[in-house]
Amino acid sequence: MAIWPALILSEQLTGKEWVMTGDRTDPYRIGRSSSCDFKVTDKALCGSVSSLHAAIHFDADMSQWVVTDLGSKSGTFVTKVSQSYRRCLGHGESECLDHGDTLRLGGPQKGVEFVVQCLEWNVRHLVESVRRIEPLPGQLAAGQLPHGLHAGAPG
């Protein structure tokens, strides 16, 4: 059965989940812009989230998920659980994401914070998970699969 690296960002305040898969070649873009793959729309949360805030991609050479700040005005923060430190990324700076890390887009008052879950999913698990997660604008609709995956994909 096919195995795919997957990343889930679980929003701390609302509990919404954003799912990303490592089979994609382009980075996932996060911000307020309608051109983003994952759009932050809650006005109470996104006061300090930039239009194009950050990008996340899977680096196959390192076997790691990586977040990059896209020139945000209020910062992209990664809190590393394993090393007990917090880093503010500047424009173009990147940081690897590990399971249990916290990712924050924007400042402490009006930013949005996520818990990072790094997983490896087989195709069946991915199909079941996509069906249970409510998509946000720019996300997959219920029952849709990420780029390159099909419900009848051979295992």
Print pLDDT tens along the chain (155 aa). 566 788 888 887 777 888 898 888 899 999 989 999 998 887 766 678 899 999 999 998 888 999 999 999 889 999 998 777 888 999 999 999 999 999 999 877 678 888 898 887 655 555 555 555 544 444 444 445 555 444 443 34
Q: How many domains does the chain have?
A: 1
Q: Is residue 109 part of a domain?
A: yes
Predicted model pTM: 0.74
* Pairing verdict, β 102-105 and 112-122: antiparallel
Distance between CA atoms of residues 51 and 72, nearest Å = 8
Q: Is residue 140 part of a domain?
A: no
Q: Is residue 37 part of a domain?
A: yes
Quote the pLDDT of residue 140: 47
Q: Is residue 30 part of a domain?
A: yes
Cα–Cα nearest to 22, from 81, 55, 63: 63
Q: Is residue 153 part of a domain?
A: no
HSE-CB of 109 using CA atoms within 13 angstroms: 3
CATH code of 13's domain: 2.60.200.20
Q: Which domain holds residue 61?
A: 6-131
Q: Is residue 10 part of a domain?
A: yes
Q: Is residue 120 part of a domain?
A: yes
Q: Is residue 117 part of a domain?
A: yes
Looking up tokens 């096919």 gives: 2
